[in-house]
Amino acid sequence: ETASAERQWARFAFWAGTGCALLAVVLIGAASVEAWVAVDCLLWLALAVLVVGAAAQGVRLPWHPILWPAVAYAALVFAQWYWRWSAAPALTLTGLLQLAGCGAILYLALFAFRQPKNLRWLGTVLWWFTGALGLEALFQFFTAGRLIYWYRPALYATPIGPYIYHNHFAGCMDLL
């Protein structure tokens, strides 16, 4: 039964992490505060659900050595913000919150990819998403002028897809 619960939670971690990552791309390339705040809140919620739910069902929560530098760096940033060592405490807090979102998706990925099937699913999902994003970008390029998603003006740039600059879109497509 524990193996079944572990597969269930690995599937949850996969879809939560993958969904949030793809949502970040769709939400104007996560370039706006509204986008990254929404995605980070979803990641924190998904991590909390995973940790509480899996632990309640007796699923062992994994620890990987890659988490040590992540935790150490987060502690350093927290110390800079808490003891006002930073020249810009508000920006340090913003960075800490974004870093916590990155830590959440890192842990979701570590949990999800303990199941090899999820890695195969990732390839399929990214393949379809990349194709859909490319089609959307072409359609937007020919019909929206200099608007992102047909409503957000980007007259100062060369928008394509959810990105303000075509090079950012190209970089995203390369990574996908």
Phi, psi of 147 (to 5 degrees): -115, 140
Structure tokens at 128: 């379809």
User: Tens digit of pLDDT for each residue in 124-165?
Assistant: 999 999 999 999 999 999 998 888 888 888 888 888 888 888
Alpha-carbon gap, residue 165 to 16, rounded angstroms = 28
User: Tens digit of pLDDT for each residue in 61-91?
Assistant: 999 999 999 999 999 999 999 999 999 999 9
When the pLDDT of each residue in the chain is averaged and rounded to a whole number, the result is: 92
Q: Where are the beta strands (DSSP E) in 74-160?
A: 147-148, 152-153
> What pLDDT is attached to residue 30?
56
